[in-house]
């Protein structure tokens, strides 16, 4: 491994471009009005005109609002069968006991969020015992076809 010294660290060539110095005389090519043109609101400081249409009703207010975003919706980490099989083949997962914690520890999913949901994309040949929050019908069928089982927690009615 190469050892680095703080005083020898440099940016990649061409990564940092020199800042254009505006309003520093005619020789700079950006003197006098500094590229802002002549007069008008945008030539002055303190301009905030995003979405402003000169007194006309802005388009974001003219268009109808549709839909609804559920504030307490659940968000699941998603795992496909193909990914599961890949990790079992590489020896990163034990097919005998696959839990949500094991999936996180092996790196199949980054974090559990509100739970892990198993989806049926791909093939599963290993006999796997899987315990997850949710699974699609196709995924459950594919796991059982391979001789494994999927356990889903029974959630009490709230």
Look at phi and psi of residue 35 and say left if phi exceeds 0, alpha if psi is from -120 to 50, else beta. left
Fold entry, domain 77-151: Ribosomal Protein L15; Chain: K; domain 2 (3.100.10)
Q: pLDDT category, 31, cuts 50, 70, 90?
A: very high
Domain parsing of the chain, residue ranges: 77-151
Q: Could you report the per-residue pLDDT of 122-133, keeping only the tens digit for each?
A: 888 888 888 999
Query: pTM here?
Result: 0.56
Q: Could you report the per-residue pLDDT of 80-109, keeping only the tens digit for each?
A: 999 998 988 888 888 888 889 999 999 999
132, burial (CB in 10 Å: exposed 0-12, middle 13-18, buried 19+): buried
To the nearest whole number, what is the mean pLDDT of the chain? 89
Average pLDDT, stretch 118-143?
90
**What proportions of the chain, in percent to the nearest 5, are helix, strand and coil?**
25, 15, 65
Other Cβ atoms within 10 Å of 35 Cβ, number: 12
């Amino acid at each position: 491994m190469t050892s680095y010294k703080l005083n020898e660290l440099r940016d990649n060539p061409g990564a940092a471009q020199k800042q254009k110095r505006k309003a520093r005389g005619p020789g700079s090519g950006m003197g006098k009005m500094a590229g802002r043109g002549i007069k008008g609101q945008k030539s002055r400081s303190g301009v905030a005109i995003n979405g402003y249409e000169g007194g006309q009703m802005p388009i974001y207010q003219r268009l109808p609002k549709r839909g609804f975003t559920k504030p307490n919706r659940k968000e699941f980490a998603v795992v496909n069968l193909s990914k599961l099989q890949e990790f079992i083949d590489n020896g990163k997962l034990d097919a005998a006991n696959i839990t949500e914690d094991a999936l996180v520890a092996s790196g199949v999913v980054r974090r559990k969020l509100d739970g892990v949901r198993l989806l049926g994309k791909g093939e599963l040949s290993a006999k796997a015992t899987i315990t997850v929050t949710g699974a699609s019908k196709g995924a459950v069928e594919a796991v059982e076809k391979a001789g494994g089982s999927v356990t889903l927690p029974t959630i009490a009615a709230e």
